[in-house]
Amino acid sequence: MVMLEVRAEKLRREVLAFAGAGAGVTQLHERAIELVGETVRTDLTCWAMLDPETLAISSMTSGRSRIPQQYEPLLAESEYRGDDPGTFAELARSGRTVVRASDLPVDAVAHSLRHGAVWAPLGLRSEVRIVFSVDGVCWGAAGFVRSGPDFTDRELEFLTLVAPGLAVATRAASVHAPAISGRGNHGPAVVVTDAAGDPIALTAAARGWQDRFDEVAPGRLTVVLRAATFGARSSGSGIFKARVRDAEGGWILVRATALIGGGEPQTVVTLEPAADGELTGLLLAAYAVTARERDVCADVLAGYATSEIARRRGITANTVQDHLKSVYAKAGVRSRAELAARLRTGREN
């Protein structure tokens, strides 16, 4: 146990330093995959940043061996269709940190799309999943699969020990990227998908978006469309929303809703750059802003003066300034104008 704690602490220090030096989420997770792999052997591993507001997957990072491309849409479907056991969102909501497939109900695993249609054909019998949560907010997750012996209690203990540090590092790294890509804007795109999540109609702008997604990984738009389709279908509201990273670390807003009427189920998926203000909630969470500081930030964004904020919130003007100083330090800004610009656009400069 002592040796595990030493290894976990060493990993925690390294990933926090890496994030503190300005690494983005993809770079952070690539390094973390190497570090965790020194203790937990896997054949395939995939790490995700999760949108803290929706628990939708925002980015995916694989180890040296990537999951074969033809299986990726099936994995996306299994995460969002609502009946697969041990999804990242389910694990995050459960309050648990680690789950081993062999500890799940046997019948649930037997009927799992992920296990039956992906891992079994690849000869991968053992799986463990972990989520990265801090202060009650989930920022990421990772899945590990391998052939041969099941994951041991010792390996699960190690993953449990490193999870909090990975959560803090992922949260910090989530703001180390421009909110809007430096590439040309393709404009919003609309894609209509069928019951399987495959596109059956799309606007001309969608072709440009396909290239942008494929820069992240070949076939990535197909995966996003599958996730959005099944996410909307399984949602109680019939609506899916996710903020997804592009290859440059910018943010793309993905929305989906089911069409009403007709024969076969169809879903409308829209893709567009994340607009100003769309990232505010995520950034406030990433900067670990307290509830009272959030209230003050909301008033700053609304244009209220210090005296007005004090009156609205029932606090003194000096307390308002104290809250602002704390937020400035967390966000790395020096004025209200800089704070407002950062929270609306996510730009660091």
Among residues 285, 295, 284, 293, the alpha carbon closest in space to that of 342 is found at 284
Query: Domains of the chain: which residue ranges?
Result: 2-173, 189-273, 289-345
178: pLDDT strictly greater than 70? no
Model pLDDT, residue 155: 97
SS3 call for 258? strand
Once rounded to an integer, what is the mean pLDDT over residues 199-211?
88
Q: Check residue 102 and report its DSSP letter.
A: G
Question: What local confidence, expressed as pLDDT, does residue 76 receive?
Answer: 94
d(CA 130, CA 142): 5
The encoded tokens of residue 344 equal: 């609306």
Taking all residues of the chain, what is their mean pLDDT, rounded to a whole number? Answer: 91
Coil, strand or helix at 49: strand
Give the span between the Cα atoms of 275 and 314, in whole angstroms. 32
Residues 133 and 97: beta-carbon distance below 8 Å? yes
Q: For residue 347, what pLDDT band results from cuts at 50, 70 and 90?
A: low
d(CA 64, CA 125): 19
Q: How far is residue 144's CA from residue 115's CA, in Å, rounded to a whole number?
A: 12
Q: Are 301 and 340 in contact (CB under 8 A)?
A: yes
Burial of 175 (C-beta count, 10 Å sphere; 0-12/13-18/19+): buried
In CATH terms, the fold of domain 189-273 is: Beta-Lactamase (3.30.450)
Which tokens hold the place of 327?
């937020």
User: Is 331 exposed, middle or buried (CB count within 10 Å of its CB: 0-12, 13-18, 19+)?
Assistant: buried
The Cβ-side half-sphere exposure at 280, using a 13 Å CA radius, reads 17
Residue 112, classified by CB atoms within 10 Å of its CB into exposed (0-12), middle (13-18) or buried (19+), is: buried
Over residues 118-154, the pLDDT tens digits come to 999 999 999 999 999 999 999 999 999 999 899 999 9
74-99, pLDDT tens digit by residue? 999 999 998 999 999 999 999 999 99
The predicted model gives 105-117 an average pLDDT of: 96
pLDDT at position 187 is 66
Over 70: is that where the pLDDT of 116 sits? yes
Cα→Cα distances 42→7, 73, 127, 143, Å = 18, 21, 9, 10
Class (C level, CATH) for 289-345: mainly alpha
6-20, 183-197, 295-309: the lowest-pLDDT one: 183-197
Q: Is the pLDDT of residue 70 over 80?
A: yes
Q: Between these two residues, 281 and 250, which has the higher pLDDT value?
A: 281
**126-134, strands of its sheet edge to edge:** 57-62, 44-50, 137-146, 126-134, 98-100
The whole-number average pLDDT for the span 206-218 is 84
Q: Global pTM?
A: 0.88
In this chain, the answer to whether the domains covering 189-273 and 289-345 adopt an identical fold is no
Q: What is residue 140's predicted lDDT score, i.e. its pLDDT?
A: 97
Phi-psi map region of 113: left, alpha, beta (phi>0 left; psi -120 to 50 alpha) = alpha
Q: Average pLDDT, stretch 276-292?
A: 88
Query: How confident is the model at residue 185, as a pLDDT?
Result: 59
For residue 313, name the pLDDT band (cuts at 50, 70, 90): very high
The residue with greater pLDDT, 169 or 186, is 169
Return the pLDDT at 152.
97
pLDDT of residue 182: 45
Q: Phi and psi for 234 in degrees, rounded to 5?
A: -90, -10
- Residue located via tokens 């009403």: 260
Q: Rounded to an integer, what distance in angstroms lies between the CA atom of residue 288 and that of residue 259?
A: 38
Region 115-119: mean pLDDT is: 97
Provide the pLDDT confidence category of residue 241 given band limits of 50, 70 and 90: very high
Give the distance from CA 258 to its chain's centroid: 23
Listed in order, strand segments (DSSP E) in 74-204 are 98-100, 126-134, 137-146, 189-193, 199-202
How far is 115 from 78, CA to CA, in rounded Å? 9
Rounded Cα distance between 92 and 50, Å, is 10
Superfamily of chain region 2-173:
GAF domain (3.30.450.40)
The better pLDDT of the pair 22, 47 is held by 47
Least confident of 80-89, 177-186, 224-233: 177-186
| Structure confidence at residue 121 (pLDDT) | 97
Tokens coding 197: 């999540």
Using DSSP's 3-state secondary structure scheme, residue 312 falls into helix
